[in-house]
Amino acid sequence: MFQIGKTLVSEELFQKDFLCNLNACKGACCIDGQAGAPLEKQEIQILKKNYPKIKTFLRKEGIAAIESQGVFTENEMGEYETPLIDGADCAYVIYNEQKIALCGIEAAYNKGEIDFKKPVSCHLYPVRIQQYTNFTAVNYHQWQICDDACILGKIKQVPIYEFVKEALLRRFGQEWFDELDLIAKHYK
């Protein structure tokens, strides 16, 4: 690990390759797992404000889950998450014609209905952020359902940090990313 400002960053972000392969995984990260996507506190208000516009893009099951649970849930550790449909799919999941899971929030963003792309945790994936008292950990989250993304990333030679560049810029800013890029290039 190395430090950039008040972040501790895993070297795996530039040691390992990753490029989503939705044709292979079908968006499994949005429908597998035991919890919703992590939400930052400020994202709750954004979701509340934009829900009426997002709702028009969602499936009826997602709408029902959100209307019964709220636009977010809080887990036993006090962390905020997206609600789930029957403990599985994220309530904001939609499917395209190829049965690939996509984000209804992002669909609203792509159509210009809202100016919020999606939760930063989703945008950053496979990078996970963990906030501690004195620092923020920035780590690669390895998950078997993303094996095809690792293979495609290796073929295309796309390091994780480059794959999630837009999300890292969104979360940490240009100066932080420039330092990460410099470290990654020095590392190679």
Tell me the pTM.
Answer: 0.89
Residue 34 confidence (pLDDT) above 90 = no
Residue 143 confidence (pLDDT) above 90 = no
In 10 A of CB 152, how many CB atoms?
18
| Residue 137 phi, psi dihedral angles, 5° rounding | -90, 135
pLDDT in tens, 37-72: 999 999 999 999 999 999 999 999 999 999 999 999
Here the tokens at position 177 are 């990313």
Q: What is the pLDDT of residue 121?
A: 92
Residue 153 confidence (pLDDT) above 90 = yes
Q: How many residues does the chain have?
A: 188
Q: What is the pLDDT of residue 31?
A: 84
Domain boundaries, the chain: 1-18+126-188, 27-116
pLDDT in tens, 86-115: 988 899 999 999 999 999 999 999 999 999
Q: CA torsion, points 3, 142, 105, 116, in degrees to nearest 10?
A: 10
More confident position, 174 or 31: 174
10 pLDDT band (50/70/90 cuts)?
very high
Q: What is the pLDDT of residue 15?
A: 92
Q: What is the pLDDT of residue 24?
A: 87
Q: What is the pLDDT of residue 110?
A: 96
Q: Please give the Cα distance from 36 to 89 (Å, whole number).
A: 8
Three-state SS for 153-184 is: HHHHCCEHHHHCHHHHHHHHCHHHHHHHHHHH
